[in-house]
Chains A and B, each alone.
Chain A
Amino acid sequence: MSVQTTEPKAGPPDPKPGIGAWGKLSRAIYRQAPEVFDNLRQLPYNLYKSIYRTTAFPKTERERSEAFFNSFLLHIQPAKIEKHALRFNYTFGLGLISFYLFLLLTVSGILLMFFYVPSVEQAYNRMLDLRSSVSYGMILRGMHFWSANCMIGAVFFHMCRVFYTGAYKPPREFNWVIGVLLFVLTLVLGFTGYLLPWDQLAFWAITVGANIAGKADYVSDHLAMIPGVPNMHMGVMMKNALLGGDTVGQEALIRFYVLHVALLPSILFFLIVIHFWRIRKDGGISSPKESPE
């Protein structure tokens, strides 16, 4: 699409010039800068062109490729893709589903943050408020709850898919390692979010979980048997670092909150970006053409 330019004609642009103040103003504009009226006519096109670097409805192969590598969000993906990679029963879309659930979790989580207070006195009442006084509060919490639970399942089955199709083999070794880290981080994010409702289920689940971390004392107890090695009480140390005390209380709640809404999601997002980048650098998703049967 080329920008249309018209030769400015002499005289006012409108055959029937406006009268009064508006007419005077438009004639004054035309005398000073005759192209302003053309610019106004082309405003929608120029506005679009300034935001998007490519056409909205690509028709030729060249435009279709440009649509991908001229777009910030799409350039992460290849402009051309192997037919095999598009088959649903090859990937079942599990990796992308995991990422979509992460996006849903981010959006619903940020909205929930507007209503939640990480305090022992208020947290549970805020959960009751979601049920009674916040518009669509239960749907909002439900979206976050179900996305989280489904994401754990999706990530697990994505890992199974990658194994069963041999997609971790060279050159994709390191992307598999990042994937394992993403799996662990997803579990930890679920665990830290579990405490936040501050109900009986949350409180005792985290108590049980933190006690499991306390079992690391086994290692330091055995290390302490070596002469000269002091007993570091690793389990107690880990449990205290997690809970900020011996039991689940206000310190544990604020720690889990900060981990859940800021630190862990940032790390997870960073690793997701690397995970995606490596897919491209390792030659796209795995294909049967890469190896014999």
Chain B
Amino acid sequence: MAKRVREEEIFPRNPNKTYGLMELVKGSSPRVDRGPEDMVSAWPHLLIREALLFAATFLVILALSVWCVPPLEKQADATKPPNPAKAPWYFLGLQELVSYDAFWGGLGIPGLVIVGLMAIPYLDRHHSGIGRWFARSRTTAVTLFTVLFVIPTIVLIILGTYFRGPNWGFYPPWGMPVEPQ
């Protein structure tokens, strides 16, 4: 057992000094060896980037809304179901899963995915590869996330959007049967 270190032993009080020891803190500071040369003023370096990013975002959205007019079909009619009736594009992956199994596709798997996503930082706590894209020490985590989440999400949405026709049958986009109006 180490003897408790008294304040005076580390920093003897000296009446000639105008400063003194305030507090002893355990642990290493995250700011250690982070010199001021790596820091810049947020004004103007951060602000100008944020302003430019806003301008770019706004212009892209404005251009899209001028040149790509959002669709508006005929008024809703409960007696005329389209074939196939499709969910919004971001739920077409779900709809694709539902076509295999109603419960597991629509609720079971999505629910597990959300819980799984939230669990990631509590399962993968190893302090390596932070702040780098695709760090080599994290190859396993990166591969699992890509194969289990990113690729299935994107592939299922593309499949449901472009490859599903009447009666949720599989058709290539160039051979999609046209619904008679």
Contact = CB atoms under 8 A, between A and B. Distances in A.
Interface of A: 58, 61, 64-65, 67-68, 74, 77-84, 86, 88, 90, 93, 96-97, 100-101, 104, 120, 124, 127-128, 131, 138-139, 141-143, 145-147, 149-150, 152, 156, 159-160, 163-170, 172-173, 176-177, 180, 184, 187, 190-191, 194, 197-205, 207-209, 212-213, 215-216, 218-219, 247-248, 283, 286-293
A82 B38 contact: yes
A200 B66 contact: no
A167 to B, nearest CB: 7
Contact of A290 (B73, B131, B142): B131
B138 A198 contact: no
Interface of B: 30, 34, 38-47, 49-50, 53-54, 57-58, 60-62, 64-66, 68-78, 80-82, 85-91, 94-95, 98, 102-103, 106-108, 114, 117-118, 120-122, 124-138, 141-142, 145, 150, 153
A61 to B, nearest CB: 6
A97 B57 contact: yes
Contact of A84 (B65, B125, B131): B131
Contact of B73 (A86, A167, A199, A292): A199
A93 B77 CA distance: 42
Contact of B120 (A164, A176, A200, A204): A176
A89 to B, nearest CB: 8
B177 to A, nearest CB: 18
A293 to B, nearest CB: 6
Contacts of B121: 168-170, 172-173, 176-177
Contacts, number: 242
A166 B46 contact: no
Given A166-B128, A248-B78, A100 B57 contact: yes
A86 B45 contact: yes
Q: Which of B66, B78, B87, B124 has the most CB of A within 10 A?
A: B87
Contacts of B64: 142, 146, 150
A215 B155 CA distance: 23
Q: Which of A128, A199, A248 has the most CB of B within 10 A?
A: A199
B78 A164 contact: no
Nearest to A184: B114
Nearest to A286: B131
5 contacts: A128-B72, A169-B127, A184-B114, A212-B87, A213-B106
Contacts of A81: 39-42, 45-46
A86 B62 contact: no
A183 to B, nearest CB: 8
Given A86-B49, A138-B65, 9 more contacts: A80-B39, A81-B42, A83-B40, A90-B131, A138-B69, A152-B90, A187-B91, A205-B87, A248-B78
Contacts of A290: 30, 127, 130-131
Nearest to A173: B121
A160 B148 CA distance: 12
Contact of B70 (A65, A142, A160): A142
Nearest to B36: A80
A288 B66 CA distance: 41
A119 to B, nearest CB: 12
A204 B82 contact: yes
Nearest to B64: A146
Contacts of B98: 212, 215
Contact of B58 (A79, A82, A104, A173): A104
A258 B62 CA distance: 27
Contacts of A83: 38-40
Contacts of A209: 87-88, 91
Question: Nearest 4 A-B pairs (CB), nearest first?
Answer: A142-B65, A203-B76, A218-B103, A173-B121
Nearest to A80: B39
A169 B38 CA distance: 22
Q: Which of B34, B60, B68, B106 has the most CB of A within 10 A?
A: B106
A64 B41 contact: yes
Contacts of A180: 114, 117-118
Nearest to A92: B53
B61 A200 contact: no
B138 to A, nearest CB: 6
A200 B41 contact: no
Contacts of A77: 42, 46
